[in-house]
């Protein structure tokens, strides 16, 4: 009832307002000096000029974590009364980074840096220009201090550049020389891991759930720095520069599924095609593709047990793609550092192995073709780790989209 009475009262008020409008004097009968709607004029908005010269800013300095970068705004015409600066990482603004100088944080290693300048002046449109992006080195140099976190790809590098230490694209914490494994924590296939040099002096590998999977075991022993030398040894040192731990305590050999040093490949993974290849993929794609001529030899990237199969592709094939033959594929199943890995090699024209056969990394398993849902000869490669797809791609384990 209360709601009904309120609506009624609102209606009466509206009616009263209409009556007042109808009773208001028209322009013809308005009192002398009163303004009619038609006699009101609105001043046009003031037109703002544009800067005649608005250069993109430039960045000086070496783009390495820990270094200071400087922005130069350039010569604007006319001269702005105010310049606002905003540093960016991967195109996104960095909170508080609004000065002419900016020290690159360790977390920016391997990313891109740019800077925007916004110019303003009375009577002029505010104008913003952005510098070209600068790639920040993946290397943090040869030394890191407690509190540093390394994500996959970020690394320490010896002064002579021969050795590196960090998390590889396959999740393995390793010391490498070039693309060869020197020491390994045997953490291959850890997904979304990060390596933390904790405040209490411990190297700690954490997975995406913050579960510790590997440790240097040096918590509380007073390590104040990690140093990678030209001798290929990583040392955790205390305030007196004495060793608390060295990489000599890590395993000297990868697991048995890894490629031998004589096999073309990187970081224990064999190249699937030789001597080179370029991976391509697209959103929702389960793996990487490499274009190659029909009959090109295909090699197992990691050792394991083979399953050979031919099957019709009954779903997921676009209408424009030919799908007139059974797809030939080889699956190699491995246990790598305690984790199950399934490697799929698809669209083959021929097999070089049989179901149940054991193969080593770098052994030929078949030939490139275009069987199944395919628009042309190529190799499709895909990984499943402990039953999880779409998390690790062949390009990740080889450290890039081409080799």
Each residue's pLDDT, cut to its tens digit, for the chain (403 residues) gives: 444 333 333 333 444 443 433 344 444 444 555 555 555 666 666 789 999 999 999 999 999 999 999 999 999 999 999 999 999 999 999 999 999 999 999 999 999 999 999 999 999 999 999 999 999 999 999 999 999 999 999 999 999 999 999 999 999 999 999 999 999 999 999 999 999 999 999 999 999 899 999 999 999 999 999 999 999 999 999 999 999 999 999 999 999 999 999 999 999 999 999 999 999 988 778 899 999 999 999 999 999 999 999 999 999 898 899 999 999 999 999 999 999 999 999 999 999 999 999 999 999 999 999 999 999 999 999 999 999 998 999 999 999 999 9
221, 238 Cβ separation under 8 angstroms: yes
pLDDT of residue 376: 97
Question: What does pTM read for this prediction?
Answer: 0.82
Measured CA to CA in angstroms, residue 140 lies from 56, 157, 158, 161, 165 at distances of 29, 7, 10, 12, 10
Cα 30 from Cα 389, distance rounded (Å): 80
pLDDT of residue 89: 98
141, 157 Cβ separation under 8 angstroms: yes
pLDDT of residue 283: 79
């Amino acid at each position: 009832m209360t709601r009904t009475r309120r609506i009624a009262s609102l209606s009466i008020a509206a009616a009263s307002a209409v009556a007042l409008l109808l009773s208001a004097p028209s322009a013809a009968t308005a009192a002398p000096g009163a303004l009619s709607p038609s006699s009101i004029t609105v001043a046009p908005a003031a037109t703002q000029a544009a800067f005649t010269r608005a250069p993109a800013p430039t960045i000086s300095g070496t783009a390495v974590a820990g270094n200071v970068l400087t922005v130069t705004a350039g010569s604007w015409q006319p001269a702005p009364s105010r310049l606002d600066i905003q540093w960016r990482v991967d195109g996104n603004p960095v909170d508080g980074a609004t000065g002419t100088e900016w020290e690159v944080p360790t977390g920016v290693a391997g990313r891109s840096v740019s800077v925007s300048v916004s110019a303003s002046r009375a009577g002029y449109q505010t104008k913003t220009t952005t510098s070209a992006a600068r790639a920040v080195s993946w290397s943090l140099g040869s030394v890191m201090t407690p509190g540093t976190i390394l994500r996959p790809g970020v690394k320490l590098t010896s002064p002579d550049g021969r050795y590196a230490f960090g998390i590889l694209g396959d999740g393995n914490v390793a010391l490498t020389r070039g693309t060869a494994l020197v020491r390994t924590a045997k953490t291959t296939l850890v997904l979304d891991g990060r390596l933390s040099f904790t405040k209490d002096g411990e190297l700690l590998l954490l997975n995406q759930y913050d579960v510790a999977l590997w440790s240097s075991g040096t918590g509380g022993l007073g390590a104040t720095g990690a140093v990678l030398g030209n001798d290929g040894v990583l040392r955790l040192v205390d305030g007196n520069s004495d060793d608390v731990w060295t990489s000599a305590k890590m395993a000297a050999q990868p697991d048995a599924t890894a490629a031998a040093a004589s096999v073309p490949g990187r970081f224990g993974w064999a190249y699937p095609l030789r001597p080179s290849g370029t991976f391509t993929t697209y959103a929702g794609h389960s793996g990487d593709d490499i274009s190659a001529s029909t009959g090109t030899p295909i090699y197992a990237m990691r050792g394991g047990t083979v399953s050979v199969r031919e099957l019709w592709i009954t779903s997921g094939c676009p209408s424009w793609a030919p799908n007139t033959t059974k797809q030939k594929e080889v699956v190699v199943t491995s246990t790598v550092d305690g984790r199950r890995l399934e490697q799929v090699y698809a669209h083959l024209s021929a097999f070089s192995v049989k179901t149940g056969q054991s193969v080593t990394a770098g052994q030929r398993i078949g030939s490139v073709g275009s069987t199944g849902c395919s628009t042309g000869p190529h190799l499709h490669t895909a990984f499943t780790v402990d039953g999880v797809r779409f998390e690790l791609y062949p390009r990740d384990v080889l450290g890039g989209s081409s080799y």
